[in-house]
Amino acid sequence: MSLAANEYRLDLGGTVLSLSCPTERLAGGLAHWFDRDSSPAEPHVRLDLEVVSEHHDADLPNSLLTTKIVAEDGSFDVADGLITGRYDPRLGQGVIRAKQLLFEVPLVRVLEQIFYQAFYSARAHSQADAYLVHSSAAIADGGGFLFVGPSEAGKSTAIQNSAAHHVLGDEMHLVRNTPDGWVVEGTGFNGLFRDKKPGKAPLRAIFVLDKTPEHGLREVSKVQAVTTIGREIVPPVGLESMADETTLPAMVDAAGRILQSVPVRCLEFRPDPGFWPLILEEFGKSTR
């Protein structure tokens, strides 16, 4: 099926979301935000995106997921009407109605959270073994390196000091299982950060960040690694679902599966690029 002028298709590692916009201008705005052209691939999920012009009186939530209610008929409401819609998982089709303020920079970053949920709905159709992970990431020496940690841990600082390498982004990345192992891939999320480039690479290592006076790498216990990385996996909850008692175990389980074949270290670092020689000494192509 050909691409309509008002349609934007976002390709996330082969899982494709179609967003049918009310205007061509909005579709073009999404392409600019994600800094990538609309994908020519057939979508796994088709969503009609509607803009609601009425004012929103409630405070914006930190998480769209925790304020989401899903009714038995498949309709959903986020943050008392900030975003509403309906999704049919059998057909892979739905509608998202979002208040107009969410299409204004920088609040598009709030709207992105509903696209995370759309990705997990689409993943069921693409049959991808993939997760979105809050992280910074870069490609160096042919390998992908992921930097994780809670807010203020230094994800942005680490990536700002990675300009000598291929920077994938500072906010959200796709970690995808392939026959050759886990791959990290840029997503385009966080359109405010323009110093990123699309790309993907074998995931060679994950680093839990720790700001210290000197650079260093140290071992991380399995429990700490799984717990820390599990928290940074975007909850695998689709448009048709709400978070429940199974959500956190699913995040931790995903982290455990990734760490079966991907090494983890604690990266002790200060705000300069001097940590990269340590990373490449242990995980560079020449050391494998």
What are the tens digits of pLDDT across the range 149-161? 988 889 999 999 9
The verdict on 75 and 145 lying in the same domain is no
Last residue of a domain, one of 106, 126, 146: 126
Report the share of the chain in percent with pLDDT over 90: 93
The pLDDT of residue 62: 86
The pLDDT of residue 46: 98
The verdict on 72 and 88 lying in the same domain is yes
Indicate whether 107 belongs to any domain.
Answer: yes
Last residue of a domain, one of 67, 94, 126: 126
Please give the tally of structural domains in the chain.
2
The verdict on 272 and 180 lying in the same domain is yes
Domain that holds residue 21: 7-126
pTM: 0.96
The pLDDT of residue 27: 97
Q: What is the pLDDT of residues 48-78, one digit of tens each?
A: 999 999 887 778 888 999 999 999 999 999 9
The verdict on 113 and 239 lying in the same domain is no
**CATH code at position 223:** 3.40.50
Last residue of a domain, one of 84, 106, 126: 126
The verdict on 155 and 77 lying in the same domain is no
Query: Regarding beta strands 166-169 and 136-140, do their DSSP bridges make them parallel or antiparallel, or are they unpaired?
Result: antiparallel
Report the share of the chain in percent with pLDDT over 70: 99
The verdict on 42 and 172 lying in the same domain is no
The verdict on 12 and 33 lying in the same domain is yes
Mean pLDDT of the chain: 95
Indicate whether 2 belongs to any domain.
Answer: no
The verdict on 118 and 148 lying in the same domain is no
